[in-house]
Structure 1
Amino acid sequence: MLPSYTDRMAKHRVYLIPGFFGFTHMGEKPAERIVYFGHVRDVLLEGFQKRGHTAEVEPLTGHPTASLEVRARLLLRSIEESAANDDAAIHLVGHSTGGLDARGLVSTWIPRQAPHLLARVRSVVTVATPHHGAPMARFFLEDRRGEMLLRLLWLFTVFSLRRGPRPMMFLAFRLFYALSETGHQLGFQATLLDQVTRLLAHLSPTEQATLEEFLAQVGKDQSIIGDLTPEKLVDFNRNNPDRAGVRYGSVITGAPPPSLLGMLRAITGKNDPGMGDLVSLRMLDPEPEVIYGAYSFLYKKSGPNSRELVTPEPSPTQDRQLRDVFEEYRSRSDGVVPTRTQLWGELITAVIADHLDVLGHYDDPPEHVGWLRSGSHFRSPQFQGLWDRVLDFMVDGSEARP
């Protein structure tokens, strides 16, 4: 008897690894739940099917802000449990810090603790990953407002993605950021955070408990911040060389630098605002201004021109590809991670996008809602094209290795 079509198709297991502050989902109601990799998982499953392959695509979660070592141990535990019952090819896709997790797993933790899985690993895809360091980590390490700001940034992201833009929330975020400078001195940190949680989120008791537990984890262990400094990444790269037989590739992101024109575009919602737009009622809405202000602040702190950030020169072909997309990519950032620190292995694709656009969290309601008004104009066609290239990369790598 001939095998069925399903039996003849390749089988893949794709593990999606979130970055700093990463989570699998938040919210009880399916219609309101936000999922870190939700849009990515859908497009990958559909893409494998169109290519005639069966696949399981599984988002992973560990500790949101623990060290790279702690995160890797937690992630490996989940991989071992789900991959034990088949011999499918394994692909690791890491966003932001998750890309470092993926590399560490393949180079160190899988060979050391689960060597039986190593031969099944086909590819490592890193997306907007700070392979050579994130200068922003220095701000969080050295500024006494760091812990409060980290919590508020995560809270801000979750509420924005879940509920959509709400002007009062953004005003409150700006207010609480200003207050955070004195929060530690006055002992208001927990009280402010609780008030933001209850006042703005309107969460159910279960959701509230989940959020508070998550934020408690962030408060207790922020070791990953130290791991992301440029000097620590030098050690990480030396201790985690690429594994032979595994295909490594990277997705590179960069967003437009903040500017007056960018702010006007964010406020008016138009690419080429005119005088009529500037005197319209839109200018009275504080939401776009605050969102763009948050983006501008993060972009500056991301330090694309930081002297402490030392990156290797790309190949001539990669340099040309990056210049074709970003022009002067060495001074670009996606609002969180400098563009020039993201290249590792093959260059799968480079896109004008901010740090969360590539996850499907961009402004294209109702299916897609983003919180960074970066002016990238990243939308569904770019999103589909990006992940189509990642799919081709994973499938080609599987076919090349026996």
Structure 2
Amino acid sequence: MPLSRVYLSPGLFGFERVGSYDYFGHVEQGIRRRFADAGREVEVHVVDVHPTASIRRRAARLMAKIEGTLGDGGPIHLVGHSTGGLDARLVASPTFNVRGYRETPPWHPRIRSVTAMNTPHYGTPLASFFATVSGQRLLYALSALTVIALKLGAPPLAISASLVAAIGSLDHALGVELRVIDALTDRVVRVLDNASSNDLSAYLRLLRDDQGAIIQLSPESMDLFQAGVEDNPEVFYQCSVSYAPSPGIVHFARSLLSPWQNMSTPIFATLHRVTSLENGMYPCAPPQGAADEILLGKYGHVPPAAASDGVVPVRSQLWGKVAWAGMGDHLDVVGHFGGGKKDPKHVDWLSSGSGFDLRRFDKMLDSIVGGMLEADPA
């Protein structure tokens, strides 16, 4: 039986490895275990893509990773979280146009499936905000907090509290406040050991040097992506979709139980508020109201119009077969949820109140890997 190869492409706030922490570690382990349980051999590769570079540049990194590890044969499965799902769609498309590749590579027919996890297929209003000066500072600060929270369990409270307060004033931010955010972010980075701090500093420099994907993920830009990137009829497409409850009084009250939750809840509320903004001309949803019928079948109800995982509107996440739909925020689905004392391997980054847990994570991976195996039966 030929060896299967799975390629994982991270998205916004994503990375291959920073300071010995693996962004896709939980997903990678889960995929390996499920292939083994099915009696199938698999290699899982995490792609080292630039977190905010253009989709074409990110796709080129994905293709280079495939070409360096593809072996002599066997099926290829592409999995992308957030922007990574768009990388996968572009690479699998028969109309792909990736820098450095003039012709369709000989391994292209080996692609069996594309899995898009919480991917903004129709864009996200948050990208439009991240393209502003204030939004760029927010992205920079949140990326630093994300890495440190996942590595340490929670950032140092004193410094983080000041940074969160500065983020909360972004609606009125001027030059002085923006410089304060940069300085506080740098202080947060320095709490890591030297090796991890250097890794994170290099990662943050990438965010500043190239933000091509930020512009491309706006609803207006994704309208053009949809027109140019066709699905491959020989490839199975599936997605995972989720949304978190809109932050409210109960959510804020529960966050008081933990100092870090108390600080991170306002950050999630800010992200959720921006992501909920509607664009009447370029809606973040499939055309002609098709999304509501699909979501009704999965959730048993139609999610609110503003429903999102805090980064991507839930309707924008729909593409291909819905492998799994449930309550969860943007990073819950890649294993970054609160595991508590019983499951310390899983660390949350923001308090969204989604209630996502190991049971949901396992059920989601069961469905995703099941789709891969169905696309390439033994």
TM-score w.r.t. length of structure 1: 0.85
d(CA) in 2 for partners of 1:184, 1:220 = 22
My pick for the range that moved more, 112-121 or 381-390, is 112-121
Once the two structures are TM-superposed, the CA of residue 315 in structure 1 deviates from its matched residue by: 6.9
Identity %: 34
Q: Distance in 1 between matches of 2:57 and 2:329?
A: 28
Extract unaligned runs of 5+ from structure 1.
1-8, 28-32, 269-284
Q: Which amino acid is the alignment partner of residue 274 of structure 2?
A: K
Give the structure 2 partner of residue 62 of structure 1: 49
Match of 2:78 among 63, 78, 92: 92
Structure 2 counterpart of 1:96, one-letter code: S
After superposition, the Cα gap between the structure-2 partners of 1:194 and 1:170, relative to the gap in structure 1 and judged at 3 Å, is closer
The answer to whether the aligner puts 1:129 opposite 2:116 as a matched pair is no
Query: Any idea what SS the aligned residue of 1:57 has?
Result: strand
* Secondary structure, counterpart of 2:87 in structure 1: helix
Which of 287, 293, 296 in structure 1 is aligned with 2:260?
287
CA distance 1:316–1:152, change in 2 (3 Å): closer
TM-aligned CA deviation for residue 328 of structure 1: 2.3
**2:157 paired with 1:167:** yes
Q: Cα offset for 1:347?
A: 1.2
For the residue of structure 2 that corresponds to 1:257, the secondary structure is: coil
The separation in 1 between residues aligned to 2:61 and 2:346, in whole angstroms, is 30
- Indicate if the aligned counterparts of 1:15 and 1:58 stay in contact, CA closer than 8 A: yes
1:262 CA displacement? 1.3
Quick check: 1:224 aligned with 2:213?
yes
Quick one: which of 134, 155, 158 aligns to 2:147? 158
Query: Which of 252, 256, 269 is the matching residue for 1:267?
Result: 256
Conserved 8 A contact 2:310-2:329 = yes
CA contact (8 A) 2:49 2:58 kept: yes
Aligned partner of 1:258 in structure 2 is: 247
Q: Does 1:309 pair with 2:301?
A: no
Query: What is the alpha-carbon distance in structure 2 between the residues aligned to residue 125 and residue 390 of structure 1?
Result: 7
CA distance in 2, matches of 1:79, 1:136: 31
TM superposition shift of 1:389: 0.3
Q: 2:13 aligns with which of 21, 25, 38?
A: 21
State the match for 1:377 in structure 2. Answer: 355
CA contact (8 A) 2:80 2:117 kept: yes
* Structure 1 residues 243 and 149: alpha-carbon distance in aligned structure 2, compared to 1, 3 A threshold: same
Q: How far apart are 1:175 and its partner, in Å? A: 3.5
What does residue 249 of structure 1 align with? Answer: 238
Q: Which of 240, 243, 250 is the aligned partner of 2:229? A: 240
C-alpha offsets along residues 195-228 of structure 1, whole Å, 9 cap, x if unaligned? Answer: 3321xx2322x32222222211111111111100
In structure 2, the gaps of 5 or more residues are none
1:360 aligned residue: 335
Is the aligned partner of 1:320 residue 2:296? Answer: yes
Query: Does the C-alpha gap of structure 1 residues 52 and 375 become closer, same or farther in structure 2, counting only changes over 3 Å?
Result: same
Structure 1 pair 105/330, CA: closer, same or farther in 2 (3 Å)? same
Q: CA deviation at 1:292?
A: 0.9
- Asked if the contact 2:159–2:184 (Cα under 8 Å) also holds between the matched residues in 1, the reply is no
* Residue 52 (1) aligns with residue 26 (2): no
Q: CA deviation at 1:396?
A: 0.3
The answer (yes or no) to whether the contact 2:123–2:316 under 8 Å persists in 1 is yes
Q: What corresponds to 1:117 in structure 2?
A: 107
| Change over 3 Å in CA distance of 1:184–1:122 after alignment to 2 | farther
- 2:313 aligned with 1:338: yes
Deviation string 1:300-343 (CA, Å, 9 cap, x unpaired) is 0112644342422337862432441x542533101111001110
Q: CA RMSD in A?
A: 2.2
Counterpart CA distance in 1 for 2:33 and 2:175 is 47
Kindly state the Cα deviation for residue 289 of structure 1 after the two structures are TM-superposed.
2.0
- Which position in structure 2 is the counterpart of 1:203? 193
Letter of the 1:238 partner, please give it: A
Q: Which amino acid aligns with 2:17?
A: H
Match for residue 299 of structure 1? 272
> What is the alpha-carbon distance in structure 2 between the residues aligned to residue 314 and residue 214 of structure 1?
39
Aligned pair 1:392/2:370, yes or no? yes
> Match of 1:158, SS?
helix
| Deviation larger for 116-125 or 312-321 | 312-321
TM-score after normalising by structure 2: 0.90
Counterpart secondary structure, 2:310: coil
Contact 1:302 1:338 in 2 (8 A): yes
Per the TM alignment, residue 373 of structure 1 is displaced from its structure 2 partner at its CA by 1.1
Task: Tell me how far 1:63 sits from its aligned partner.
Answer: 1.1
Contact 2:284 2:315 in 1 (8 A): no
Write the deviation string for residues 352-380 of structure 1: whole angstroms up to 9, x where unpaired.
10000011100004111011211111111
Q: Secondary structure at 2:239's aligned position in 1?
A: strand
Q: What is the alpha-carbon distance in structure 1 between the residues aligned to residue 202 and residue 175 of structure 2?
A: 21
One-letter identity of the residue aligned with 1:11: L
Cα distance in 1, alignment partners of residues 246 and 181 from structure 2 = 32
Kept in 2, the 8 Å contact 1:156–1:173? The answer is no
Describe the SS at the equivalent of 2:323. strand
